[in-house]
């Protein structure tokens, strides 16, 4: 059976990895949608098989008009993901209005919608459960994602096709090199160590010691696997956390990156304390600009994901980062 799939944000980090995952299944009738104003993102598409490419400005209206024939599913990864973007109008237009138009078109045309939400919807919350009482975004990015989730929840009643949103936690892995400051800590540490022989972490903040702020870090291969599980299970709709379910300190990322690069150079593994003593890991003052806008702890609660039967086993930081560094070294 042939599948026609649309992937928005297809040249981006998670979008390109989803295209790769579909290609691995032999699915190539994929319409890639993106905005290549930042042209170097094209590199993420070079070795992928797609049937067509459209700029996002031409896509949404064309899809609503049915110009692509029968579409089985849309993986909607396209968004402005810069959490430091202060232009609220731009953010809402990109992340809410465009997504709303896409949702209505999918519901009308019977296409399934699997889309990227974000753990930024939780903001200052101390628990991360897909319920309104835990949703307290700290920035307009988180709010733009929350507003769309709220719309989806309302529209699910009576929807004839699958609509599944995934609240991504801290995703890292191949394909994020174009993201600049918004790339993962693992990517920044990899480059810092190769260029300067050390990595830098934030110092003490929010009651956490240096490098001890904790996030739920999730490897991009796991994100793709969960997206494809829902693709294989079209009866399940809703908004779901997509993280490892395991909070780990930023120090664990630094430790894994440095030891992975040392292993590549034939050097012995070190403890974190040894890395600090040898100045391979350094701590910098917590930025004033992030005070009150920073999540010091995130950890996905996976009850909703597990309750629909998705039993995917997530990599921890040591395994995921080692795999990531090995792939970076192979490029």
Residues assigned a catalytic role = 141, 179
- Which has the closest alpha carbon to 144: 94, 96, 109, 74? 96
Residues 6+ apart with CB under 8 A from 95: 79, 80, 141, 144, 145, 148
CB 138 within 8 A of CB 122: no
Please tell me the distance from the alpha carbon of residue 226 to that of residue 219, in angstroms, as a whole number: 11
Angle at 8 between CA 71 and CA 230, to 5 degrees: 65
* Structure tokens given for 7: 């992937």
Sign of CA dihedral 248, 252, 257, 261: negative
CA distances, 228 to each of 134, 142, 166 (Å):
27, 25, 12
Residue position matching structure tokens 């990015």: 141
Q: Angle at Cα 159 formed by Cα 155 and Cα 164, nearest 5°? A: 75
Q: Where are the alpha helices (DSSP H) in 110-201?
A: 140-156, 185-196
Reduced to 3 states (helix: H, G, I; strand: E, B; else coil), residue 209 is coil
């Amino acid at each position: 059976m042939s599948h026609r799939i649309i992937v928005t944000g297809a040249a981006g980090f998670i979008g390109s990895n989803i295209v790769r995952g579909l290609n691995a299944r032999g699915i190539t009738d994929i319409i890639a949608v993106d905005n290549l104003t930042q042209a170097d993102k094209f590199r993420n598409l070079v070795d992928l098989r797609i049937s067509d490419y459209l700029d996002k400005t031409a896509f949404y209206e064309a899809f609503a008009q049915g110009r692509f024939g029968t579409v089985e599913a849309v993986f909607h990864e396209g968004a402005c993901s810069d959490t430091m973007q202060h232009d609220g109008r731009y953010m809402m237009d990109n992340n809410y209005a465009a997504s709303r138009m896409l949702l209505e078109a999918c519901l009308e045309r019977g296409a399934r919608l699997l889309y990227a939400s974000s753990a930024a919807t939780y903001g200052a919350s101390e628990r991360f459960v897909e319920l309104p009482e835990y949703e307290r975004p700290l920035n307009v990015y988180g709010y733009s994602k929350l507003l769309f989730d709220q719309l989806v929840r309302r529209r699910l009643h009576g929807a004839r096709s699958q609509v599944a949103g995934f609240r991504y936690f801290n995703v890292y892995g191949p394909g994020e090199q174009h993201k600049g400051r918004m790339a993962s800590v693992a990517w920044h540490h990899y480059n810092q160590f190769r260029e300067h022989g050390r990595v830098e972490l934030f110092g003490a903040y929010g009651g956490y010691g240096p490098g001890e702020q904790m996030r739920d870090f999730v490897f991009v291969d796991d994100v793709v696997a969960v997206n494809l599980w829902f693709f294989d299970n079209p009866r399940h709709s809703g908004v779901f956390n997509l993280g490892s379910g395991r909070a780990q300190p930023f120090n664990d990322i630094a430790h894994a990156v440095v030891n992975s690069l040392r292993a590549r150079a034939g050097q012995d593994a070190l403890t974190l304390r040894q890395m600090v003593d040898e100045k391979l890991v350094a701590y910098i003052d917590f930025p004033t600009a992030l005070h009150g806008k920073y999540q010091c702890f995130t950890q996905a609660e996976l009850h909703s994901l597990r309750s629909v039967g998705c039993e995917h086993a997530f990599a921890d930081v040591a395994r995921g980062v080692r795999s990531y560094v090995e792939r970076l070294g192979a490029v």
